[in-house]
Amino acid sequence: MKKHILIVPGDGIGQEVTEVGKAVLVKIAEKFGHEFTYDEALMGHVAIEATGNPLPDETLEKMRNSDAILFGAVGHPKYDNDPTAKVRPEQGLLKMRKELGLYANLRPIKLFDELLGASSIRPEILKGSDILFFRELTGDIYFGEKGRKNDNNTAYDIAEYSRYEVERIARKAFEAARTRGKRLCSVDKANVLETSRLWREVIQALAPEYPDITVEHQFVDAAAMMLIKDPKRFDVVVTANLFGDILTDEASQIAGSMGMLASASVGDSTGVYEPIHGSAHDITGKGVANPLASVLSAALLLDISFGLKEESEAIISAVDKLLKDGFRTRDIADATTPADKVLNTQQAGEEL
Ligand code: GGG
C-alpha cells in the first residue's frame, strides 16, 4: 500500500514522542511491505516562533494533501502565564480541527493487564475496564462566540450545538457500540444546560434506530464520579467537547497514565492521530516522556485511516510484550520496577 503521512510533532514532548511514533510506522511499513512517504510541518508554539501563526497555511496545505497525520502536542507555559496573549498555540489545534472537519475524537481507554498496579484505582475495580470515548470536537463552548464586555470586567464564552452536530457524532458512537459491548452512555448536563437538553433529545430520538444498543444518560458530574468508582459499567461514551476533554484526562488514570492514551480525530477529511497528553514542558528535553501514546496513535492511524488491521494489532501486541517483559517508562514504573527496566523515551521505542 502506498500512503503519504504528515508528521506534525508540535511543541514540548510532542517532538520526542512523535519521533518514536514515526519510527514504529517506518518499521511496520518495512515488515509488511508498504510504501509510506513522510513530510513534516510546524504547528503550535514552534510555528508561532517561526511564522507568527500557530497553524501556518503551508502546514494546512500539507495536511489536506496527506493521507493521515501523526501529531504530537501543542502548548507552552509562557502563554499559561500570560492570559492576555492574543496568539496562542492552542488556536492552531482548534483551527486544524475546524478546517479539516474533525468532529469526532475517539479516545480508547485501554488498560493493559500489566498496568493494573500502575493506577491509584484498586485492581479489582479496574480489571476488565475497556471504554471508548467519543468526544465531539468542533462545537460547544470551544467554538462559540467569546469576548469581554463591561469595560473588560466581564468575560463570556458561548456554548452552541446544532441538532446536526449532535446527530453526526452520536451516530458514530452508536455504530461503534454495535461492534463492542452494545452499551452507549451519553454524558451531558441536561438538568442545567440548554445545549445538553438538545443533546439528550437528539440521542433519545436516534435510539429507536439502534434497538440492539442499551442507552443510558448520565450527568457529567455523576459520570466523573462513576468513572473511578465503577469503570466497568462503561462501554462506549459519547459527550460534548469540553466534558470529553475533562473526562478523558480523568479516565487516563484507568489506563495507568496519560502517557498511555492515544486518540483519533476523524470526520470530513484527513484523520489526525495524537496522544491525548499535552506538551508537558516540565519534562521536555529530559528524555523521560512515555512514547507509547504516540505509538498507539500510530496503531489507530493504520487501522482507521488505512484499514490495516493486522499491522495495527502488531503494534498493540508489541506494546503488550514490552509491558509483559517488565519494561516501564518513568510514569508507569513503581517501587517494584527494577532500575534496569525503567526506559527512557528512545529506549522504549527501540524495545518495540
Ligand atoms: N495532544 C493533545 C494536545 O496537544 N493537547 C493540548 C491542548 O491544548 N488541548 C486542548 C484540547 O484538546 O481541547
Average pLDDT taken over every residue of the chain: 96
ipTM field: 0.94
Pocket of ligand 1 (CB under 6 A): 73-75, 90, 93, 245, 274-278
Sign, CA dihedral 314-315-317-321, equals positive
Q: Which residue has better confidence, 325 or 118? A: 325
Residue 249 is among the residues annotated as catalytic for this protein: yes
Ligand 1 mean position, distance from CA 277 (Å): 7
Nearest CA to ligand 1 atom 12: 245
What pLDDT does 341 receive?
95
User: Mean pLDDT throughout 194-211?
Assistant: 98
What pLDDT does 117 receive?
81
Classify each residue of 324-339 as buried b or exposed e, where b means 16 or more C-beta atoms within 10 Å of its C-beta: eeebbbbbbbeeebee
Confidence of residue 10 (pLDDT cuts 50, 70, 90): very high
CATH code 3.40.718.10 region(s) in the chain: 1-110+261-352, 120-255
Q: Domain spanning 1-110+261-352 has what CATH number? A: 3.40.718.10
Residue 245 is among the residues annotated as catalytic for this protein: yes
Ligand 1 mean position, distance from CA 74 (Å): 6
Nearest CA to ligand 1 atom 8: 90
Q: Which atom from ligand 1 is nearest to the alpha carbon of 279?
A: 4
Ligand 1 mean position, distance from CA 90 (Å): 7
- Nearest Cα neighbor of 264 from 141, 130, 140, 103 is 103
User: Mean pLDDT throughout 88-95?
Assistant: 96
- What is the gyration radius of the CA atoms in the chain, in angstroms? 20
Ligand 1 mean position, distance from CA 134 (Å): 15
What pLDDT does 335 receive?
87
Nearest CA to ligand 1 atom 6: 278
Distance CA 19, CA 143 (A): 31
| Catalytic residue from among 103, 142, 161, 210 | 142
Confidence of residue 82 (pLDDT cuts 50, 70, 90): confident
| Catalytic residue from among 11, 189, 210, 303 | 189
Structural domain 120-255, CATH architecture: 3-Layer(aba) Sandwich (3.40)
Residue 130 is among the residues annotated as catalytic for this protein: no
User: Mean pLDDT throughout 263-283?
Assistant: 95
Nearest CA to ligand 1 atom 11: 245
C-alpha cell at 292: 507509547
Reported as a single tens digit per residue, the pLDDT across 225-261 is 999 999 999 999 999 999 999 999 999 999 999 999 9
